[in-house]
Amino acid sequence: MLIVKRYPNNPIIKPDINHPWETYATFNGTITKEKELFHLFYRAMSDEENYHGHHQIRLSSIGHTVSSDGFNFNERWQFIKPEYEWERYGCEDPRVTRFEGSFYIFYTALSSFPFQASGIKVAVAVSDDLKTIKEKHIVTPFNAKAMTLFPERINGKITVLLTINTDIPPAHIAIAQFDKIEDIWSDEYWRDWYRHFNDHRIRFKRMKTDQVEVGSTPIKTKYGWLFIYSYIINYISPKPEFTIEACMLDLKNPQKVIGKIEEPILTPQEKYELEGLIRNIVFPSGAIVEKDQLYIYYGAADTTCCVATCNFKELLRQMEVIKADTPKLIRYEGNPILEPKNWHNWEAKAVFNPAIIRADDKTHIFYRAWTNDDVSTIGYAVSDDGYHIDERLREPVYIPREEFEKKHNPSGGSGCEDPRITVIDNKLYMIYTAYNGVDNPRVAITSILYDDFINRKWIWKKPVLISPPSIDDKDACILPEKINGQYAIFHRIDPDIVIDYVDSLDFQPNQWLQIKSVITPRKNMWDSRKIGTSSVPIKTQYGWLLIYHGISAIDKEYRTGAMMLDLKDLGKVLARTEYPLIEPETDYEKFGVVNNVVFPCGSCIIDNTLFVYYGGADKVVGVATMKFSELVNYLKEGSEKKFLTKSFKLL
């Protein structure tokens, strides 16, 4: 873990009651060094004042102070203040860069009050000597903040980073390049750029509910451009988590992230970060390397300026190589492929969470069906090509038969839920969640002969419970081949995927699944709350590929990812998708019986294409596809940690 040390005498800049323009707050400082002096520019806020006829405005401007060591700053003065209509109501959050003989200080300009997105834009002040401002310009014609200029041209181009749509989320960090400096404040350039802003985005966000913002000016290293940025977890919630992260951008193509420190390098911990104008904030705005130390300047609780340091070479050593972007499942444009039929009572409310097998060149779909009084049964449909439904039976092929799955609570749910099917020898083994509305949901197993299945003779073996009483257990499936002479069964005991091994699938009375291996959720990721198996694992030469679902502790949405498990030790996770393969985005995934859910229970491969079948919002069935080899190669590449400095062989 990277050791980052806060300066013992933090905060380094506090509000000053002797300066009316900075009596309330002084934060988000940006740094540059010139002639052995550290120049810090920071956002300053006055106390409430009557301003342009508006009462109770705390006006922001930009202060300037200098230091000989980067820690102790003394004399301070107001450097940038509102002068033009486009900055009438404040100048915020500067970023300074020396570029080709001049200093460019980008800042947020506020043109309207009450504050609104259309009046929050980027501006720039230009100085030749850090004493006077030569010129000022409004830069973006759209909502944006936190622009910073690279200190040199890249491939002959002037290059900036900025955060767009900061006040109309989702926000994105993006890149822009120019031939000449005047183009930076060209309205025509930016309007054309904004029409295609998706082409300029840099991917940082792990979840759509998070926020990213530009932090410091990038620092050139042997390996790439070191970039310190703000990562805000669950930005739209009442309790967002502000963190500071570090990554490496490619030297010649800074839109490409080539390395990243795995954990946040700073989170709110000290009292001055936890208490202030806005609690629990650390927000980076400047960085500089001095004597093998990286100085990180940041705002604390939107109240004061602080600094922390770390060993620069150690930070570089811990920079992990970024693998390729997580591949994405592509939704079938004809989704949903199965919807409820209100004239069939047994599937009138919802059809979802389907198990899949591919047999006789057909995709066989065993889906959960729901009555209006919440009884779950299993329906059956067939597709030749994996997309179009060619046949759908009028009656369920599996219904509740035992007391542990029959309705015992008239106002509650019950039945046979969320099946997964594995073909072993001459049988189809179906594991599902059995629920009677009173006891805990438990795992049940049944089977049918392969020939009976093909001939539509739905002669299922008497089901038995295989998970312990008094434990909520779900999301179970059987590996299609033995491991060390035993059958492996995945199941889910909140919040983990757990694995057990059994000698026989003919369970004896009071023989319950146990826990031999555990796979856990990941902190601060899209799968941070709990995880569960989705479809039966698929064997590859590199490991068992498991599609799984994960629930975020932040927004509670169900997303889908993949992991590669060791061929002999299923509890050993070789690689895992950093981002989801698919997450709720369409209306049929966002709105239904349970909103914001994509929940696969089955998958198959047709001509190197992976088909994943899922429930959308606990209401309908959808299918999404991707190249199987693409996912396998992604996970193969991610099975080993690689560090940037070792790949360059320079440190």
pLDDT digits (tens, 9 = 90+) for 364-420: 999 999 999 999 999 999 999 999 999 999 999 999 999 999 999 999 999 999 999
Smallest CA-to-CA distance from 381 within 415, 355, 400, 418 is with: 355
442 is a domain residue: yes
User: Which residues does residue 13 pair with via DSSP β-bridges, in sequence order?
Assistant: 305
The set of residues, in sequence order, having a beta carbon less than 8 Å from that of 366 and lying 6+ positions away, is 354, 355, 356, 378, 379, 380, 397, 398, 419, 421, 430, 602
Q: Is residue 105 assigned to a domain?
A: yes
Residue 241 CB neighbour total at 10 angstroms = 18
Specify the pairing of strand 304-311 against strand 241-249: unpaired
Residue 275, domain CATH = 2.115.10.20
Above 60 in pLDDT, residue 567?
yes
Parallel/antiparallel/unpaired status of strands 293-300 and 304-311: antiparallel
Supply 323's token pair: 């693998």
- Residue 651: band (very low, low, confident or very high) from pLDDT cuts 50, 70, 90: very low
Residue the block writes with tokens 């915020």: 92
The tokens 């990277």 sit on which residue? Answer: 2
Q: For the whole prediction, is pTM greater than 0.75? A: yes
Range of the domain at 628: 341-637
Q: Are residues 281 and 351 in the same domain?
A: no
Phi and psi at residue 635, to the nearest 5°? -70, -35
- Tell me, what DSSP letter sits at residue 385? S
Beta strands in 120-240 (DSSP E): 120-127, 135-138, 144-149, 158-164, 172-178, 201-202, 211-214, 219-220, 225-233
Q: Are strands 375-383 and 414-424 parallel, antiparallel or unpaired?
A: parallel
Both 291 and 411 in one domain: the answer is no
Residue 648 falls inside a structural domain: no
As a whole number, mean pLDDT of residues 419-430 equals 97
Model confidence over 293-328: pLDDT tens digits? 999 999 999 999 999 999 999 999 999 887 777 899
1 burial level (CB within 10 Å; 0-12, 13-18, 19+): exposed
- Identify whether residues 555 and 462 lie together within a single domain: yes
Is 289 in the same domain as 428? no
Residue 646 belongs to a domain: no
Task: Share the mean pLDDT of the chain.
Answer: 95
What total of structural domains would you count in the chain? 2
Domain-located, residue 531: yes
What lies within 8 Å, CB to CB, of 438 at 6+ separation is 408, 409, 412
Tens-place pLDDT, residues 208-257: 788 999 999 999 999 999 999 999 988 887 889 999 999 999 999 999 99
Residues 6 or more apart from 571 whose CB is under 8 A from it?
499, 516, 517, 518, 519, 565
The position carrying tokens 């106390």 is: 47
* 393 and 267 share one domain: no
**Could you tell me which residues are beta bridge partners of residue 643?**
320
- Cβ atoms of residues 588 and 594 within 8 Å: no
Phi and psi at residue 34, in whole multiples of 5°? Answer: -145, 120
Residue 649 pLDDT greater than 70, yes or no: no
Quick one: which H or E segment has residue 108?
Answer: strand 102-110
Give pLDDT, residue 647. Answer: 54
404 and 309 co-located in one domain: no
- Clarify whether residues 279 and 422 are in a common domain: no
Residue 346 sits in the same domain as residue 316: no
